Structure 1
């Protein structure tokens, strides 16, 4: 007698990510109570299981849901607000003044929902955020039905959200207490950057992280100016300062890591920290190009992030994955650097490992949650296909995403010649959000 299950997804190709460099043909994923309970040839799945629902995707490839390891989701409302500027003028003259005037609970809820919709359309099932009003972000994440790690921002200088480091910590931890019933949402402490926190503030962050068992998510070694300033003010590079303050640990996600010496890499590796590589943002702000191949050779775990839409202009992890692979080859002068299978791992299992979620997501394995993304492979621009893994990284784009599941629940679907449909988001709501905040932000820039 066939065993009952909730869902079977039948696909032409399946890329589990773990084990690496494997492509399975004519396979099915069997899902029960949100988790993968079997992975087997489709012919056998039909013999052994009776699903409540069956999804047949004869011309598609199934991959783990993509994980955006570094973003500021609510800043999607600032997409294109101040382009073609270096990081500090961009922040100081445009972004921070706009945030001071407009950022609120409503702004963050609306901006995060818009970001969630964009990420789902690009096959992203989980993101690692860093922004103000995390309780508002959680509301949007809950509506979208996505998985997220929400960073509780900490800085020394006042904003419309908090007045000092202790206030940021108090506000963030109170928000965390409010969403503990959401199994899709976790939290980390998010000290903004070495140049926005004092030693004492970093020490407080480390104390709370250790007491509460939380990870730390921060910007680190993003620009050469950051390093020069650290040498002038602290007599050491930011990485060494973070070591001395106890920030480096297996729970650390360091965003960017563009300007890295071998000593920096060795320090980060010795303390078990992880990197969120953001190639498009680094290029757009002229921050530099990360030595990804060298960092991988040093044994560092590297995931991929988009950064916020204000400094990237899109939350497209498929495009980011392709750029990361291509840029690594150019920087290293080595066409074998970051091959396709490695780039996909960076956008999935590596990112899950950095978040401490690799026992739950990041690969298609029995026992893990069914966070899955299907991409069409039958469109003209995808033909012919000699290597499925290569196609996923170098050919397919977010326009090819057809289905996205989180814990076995279908959260986004796009059929050919149709608009994309979300489980819990209406396109009209997104358009109204965009129009409302566009008018306010546009007026303030004039």
Structure 2
């Protein structure tokens, strides 16, 4: 039986990421929110003759990007403080700005702006660690965007709460509110080893086990973080978190620019996922995540953009490109992280890191229809010998043509379907004027 919500998509290529094959002359059928079929186009037209067909000549159909780390509302701080080392950037600029401006309204508006940018550049699922996660999740739910929202846990007060107990209470409340939502998950976001003491970390681990909630933490972001921890405690931050029992397959460690064999062995043993944010790390001069060595040691590595205040964009195609090139230089191996592996880091590896590999991250019958198309009708992508190579080394986010999240068309012919772009731009400029006037 066919429904009005069925669509047959016919591109030139389909990259399923279920294997390393690149399908040509195939079509994909969306039925409501799931992938119903993938089959040769001639068979598809015979099998589903009355289904609406969307023809995408010279385009690549693939899973949507999974942005595994960011701070969406910080889009409203984009360009506020640049060209500074991490701690100066945080302590002198970002934390004071957050103390003055972050509120439920700020988070809602900033998240809306970020979701629009992410959808236009092909991201169909994002992971967000920021204040007021319930409000951010409300915006994602309203616009049909898939997301995992990690409420921050820190030892000190912020506009979000007075300390660890209040943060944890609010995160659990958000989890209870969204626990049956098909697109939204809530997790714990202990900020970093240097901002969270032992007892809150133990509490987060116990509650995550009890409520089946994921955990995300900034870890080994800079050399100073590791040196300082060793001088004060005699242990690397990864060893401390291991000893506190935090690590497990539901934990994502973000940044990890400093990783020795001890760290890699710990991550592998406990199934910790590493989230690589190459452009943010480069801009803040935080260091280089050794992603090739991590993968050689059996650690799943996925990609994130970080927030727009330190990147300054939410462009997963750019992150793929940077990650692939940077990995070769760090490993001193031109074969490290080939194009296909970079694509996996931006899709199926991210789905695994978020515990969603059975739902998203590849194109497979029965999975959620989180799908994007990349338009190679562009002078920068001519000629095409290998579309996967072009995807990583030649393409840009302006070539994202169509985007579906859970079968809902979000971007059509490079245009957002459900946002008033002018209103978004006016809103963000209004925030900028207020923030600038207060400096």
- Place the TM-score, normalised by the shorter chain, in its bin: over 0.9
Determine the C-alpha separation between the residues in 2 that align with 1:51 and 1:80.
Answer: 50
Q: Which moved more, 1:48-57 or 1:197-206?
A: 48-57
CA contact (8 A) 2:28 2:35 kept: yes
Aligned to 2:269: 270
Deviation at 1:170, TM superposition (A): 0.8
Aligned to 1:432: 426
- Aligned alpha-carbon RMSD (Å): 1.2
Determine the C-alpha separation between the residues in 2 that align with 1:163 and 1:228.
Answer: 29
Determine the C-alpha separation between the residues in 2 that align with 1:176 and 1:412.
Answer: 29
Query: Does the residue aligned with 2:409 lie in a helix, a strand or coil?
Result: strand
Deviation at 1:106, TM superposition (A): 0.3
Aligned to 1:217: 216
**CA displacement, residues 252-284 of structure 1 (integer Å, 9 cap, x when unaligned):** 000001100011001111001101100000000
Query: Does the residue aligned with 2:148 lie in a helix, a strand or coil?
Result: strand
Q: Which residue, out of 421, 424, 442, partners 2:436?
A: 442
CA contact (8 A) 1:302 1:346 kept: yes
Determine the C-alpha separation between the residues in 2 that align with 1:270 and 1:428.
Answer: 49
Deviation at 1:51, TM superposition (A): 5.1
Deviation at 1:176, TM superposition (A): 2.2
Aligned to 2:9: 9
Q: Which aligned pairs between 1:112-191 and structure 2 lie closer than 5 A?
A: 112-191=111-190
Q: Which moved more, 1:171-180 or 1:318-327?
A: 171-180
Deviation at 1:113, TM superposition (A): 0.5
Determine the C-alpha separation between the residues in 1 that align with 2:49 and 2:421.
Answer: 34
Q: Which moved more, 1:180-189 or 1:204-213?
A: 180-189
Q: Which moved more, 1:406-415 or 1:369-378?
A: 406-415
Determine the C-alpha separation between the residues in 1 that align with 2:45 and 2:86.
Answer: 55
**CA displacement, residues 65-100 of structure 1 (integer Å, 9 cap, x when unaligned):** 000011011001100100000000100010000000
Aligned to 1:81: 80
**CA displacement, residues 25-82 of structure 1 (integer Å, 9 cap, x when unaligned):** 1111111131111101111100001454321101210110000011011001100100
Determine the C-alpha separation between the residues in 2 that align with 1:414 and 1:438.
Answer: 30
CA contact (8 A) 2:370 2:407 kept: yes
CA contact (8 A) 1:280 1:306 kept: yes
CA contact (8 A) 1:65 1:362 kept: yes
Aligned to 1:421: 416
Determine the C-alpha separation between the residues in 2 that align with 1:238 and 1:429.
Answer: 44
Q: Which aligned pairs between 1:20-99 and structure 2 lie closer than 5 A?
A: 21-50=20-49, 52-99=51-98
CA contact (8 A) 1:129 1:150 kept: yes
Give structure 2 stretches of 5+ with no counterpart.
Answer: none
Query: Does the residue aligned with 2:366 lie in a helix, a strand or coil?
Result: coil
Deviation at 1:3, TM superposition (A): 5.7
Aligned to 1:341: 340
Q: Which moved more, 1:310-319 or 1:224-233?
A: 224-233
Distance 1:299 1:51, change over 3 A: farther
CA contact (8 A) 1:65 1:126 kept: yes
Determine the C-alpha separation between the residues in 2 that align with 1:386 and 1:336.
Answer: 19
Determine the C-alpha separation between the residues in 1 that align with 2:272 and 2:50.
Answer: 42
Query: Does the residue aligned with 1:399 lie in a helix, a strand or coil?
Result: helix
Determine the C-alpha separation between the residues in 2 that align with 1:120 and 1:443.
Answer: 31
TM-score by length of 1: 0.96
Determine the C-alpha separation between the residues in 2 that align with 1:411 and 1:380.
Answer: 26
Give structure 1 stretches of 5+ with no counterpart.
Answer: none
TM-score by length of 2: 0.98
CA contact (8 A) 2:2 2:51 kept: no
Query: Does the residue aligned with 2:107 lie in a helix, a strand or coil?
Result: helix
CA contact (8 A) 2:178 2:186 kept: no
**CA displacement, residues 374-405 of structure 1 (integer Å, 9 cap, x when unaligned):** 01011111100101110111111110011000
CA contact (8 A) 1:147 1:406 kept: yes
Determine the C-alpha separation between the residues in 2 that align with 1:400 and 1:289.
Answer: 28
Q: Which aligned pairs between 1:227-376 and structure 2 lie closer than 5 A?
A: 227-376=226-375
